[in-house]
């Protein structure tokens, strides 16, 4: 099992560009979520999904879109990147939202 | 507002001694708490959890204590080992559906960097 796979590992964007951070899991988990990690702020929840076709906002959803068309994939879209979105992004999954999350190894995004 | 707070950014202990990491929360609806450990360039990994029906949970060298009246939990590592050096995050979630629900959301603290010196 690969677990939770995030691509790319690193990305540099210019302000205003768009991109999609990919996240895939092979554990047949229903619950998936996206976090960003910033110094002194810990991990903050961006969006989450309790199953295919269902998504909801977390603590810091502005500037990000998600969709969940399959159980395996949960992409995070930045429509117009801003320097404030420079961060390390983690995708996570679990069998349901009350069980411990399995995290990917993160995507380090820099917006200039 | 920070609903889960880890007020100590860093902690340094000697190998073999006890490490105590603290976490406070403000939302009284939280009823499930977890600790995660994170090494550099890796994702966080689950360490130990506790439900609000308990006040203590133990797993090997790791013990989590929950004080609901104080809205405080702590992670004890005994004995501490150099391999325990990492960032530790506490996290909390609520099972009760409310108007501004935290159901489905796992909220993390800021993290505490633990250094265990040989």
Mean pLDDT of chain B: 92
Structure-token pair, residue B105? 């959301």
B104 closest CB neighbour out of A4, A42, A50: A50
pLDDT of residue A1: 67
Measured between CA atoms, the residue of chain A closest to residue B30 is: A98
- pLDDT bin (cut points 50, 70, 90) of residue B103 is low
B35 in reach of chain A (CB within 8 A): no
pLDDT tops 80 at residue B40: yes
Q: What's the rounded Cα separation, in Å, for the pair B95 and B102? A: 8
- Three-state secondary-structure class, residue A26: coil
Q: What's the rounded Cα separation, in Å, for the pair B43 and A33? A: 13
Q: What's the rounded Cα separation, in Å, for the pair A103 and B55? A: 27
A21 in reach of chain B (CB within 8 A): no
Measured between CA atoms, the residue of chain B closest to residue A58 is: B105
Does an H or E element contain B67, and which?
strand B62-67
What does the pLDDT look like over A41-52, one tens digit per residue?
899 999 999 899
A77 in reach of chain B (CB within 8 A): no
Q: Do B46 and A58 touch (CB under 8 A)?
A: no
Mean pLDDT computed over B33-60:
95
**Residues of chain A found within 8 Å of residue B34, distances taken between Cβ atoms:** 100
pLDDT of residue A105: 96
Mean pLDDT computed over B99-112:
74
Q: What's the rounded Cα separation, in Å, for the pair A83 and A81? A: 7
Q: Do B46 and A44 touch (CB under 8 A)?
A: no
- pLDDT bin (cut points 50, 70, 90) of residue B63 is very high
For residue B86, the tally of other CB atoms under 10 A from its CB is 21
pLDDT one digit per residue (tens) for chain A, 112 residues: 689 999 999 999 999 999 999 999 999 999 999 999 998 889 999 999 989 999 999 999 999 999 999 999 999 999 999 999 999 999 999 987 678 899 999 999 999 9
Q: Do A100 and B46 touch (CB under 8 A)?
A: yes
Look-up: residue for tokens 């590992």? A9
B93 in reach of chain A (CB within 8 A): yes
């Amino acid at each position: 099992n690969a677990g939770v796979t995030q691509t790319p590992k690193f990305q540099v964007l210019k302000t205003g560009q768009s991109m999609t951070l990919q996240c895939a899991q092979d554990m047949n988990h229903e619950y998936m979520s996206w976090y960003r990690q910033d110094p002194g702020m810990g991990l903050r929840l961006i969006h989450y999904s309790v199953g295919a076709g269902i998504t909801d906002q977390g603590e810091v959803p502005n500037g990000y879109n998600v969709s969940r068309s399959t159980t395996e994939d949960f992409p995070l879209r930045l429509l117009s990147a801003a320097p404030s979105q420079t961060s390390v992004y983690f995708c996570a999954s679990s069998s349901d939202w009350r069980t411990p999350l399995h995290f990917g190894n993160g995507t380090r995004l820099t917006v200039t | 507002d920070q609903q889960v707070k880890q007020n100590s950014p860093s902690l340094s202990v000697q190998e073999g001694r006890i490490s105590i990491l603290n976490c406070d929360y403000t939302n009284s609806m939280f009823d499930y708490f977890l600790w995660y450990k994170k090494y550099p360039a890796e994702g966080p990994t689950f360490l130990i959890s506790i439900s609000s029906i308990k006040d203590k949970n133990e797993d090997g060298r790791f013990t989590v204590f929950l004080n609901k009246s104080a809205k405080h939990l702590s992670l004890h590592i005994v004995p501490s080992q150099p391999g325990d050096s990492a960032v530790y995050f506490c996290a909390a979630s609520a099972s009760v559906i409310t108007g501004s629900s935290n159901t489905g959301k796992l909220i993390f603290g800021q993290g505490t960097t633990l250094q265990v010196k040989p």
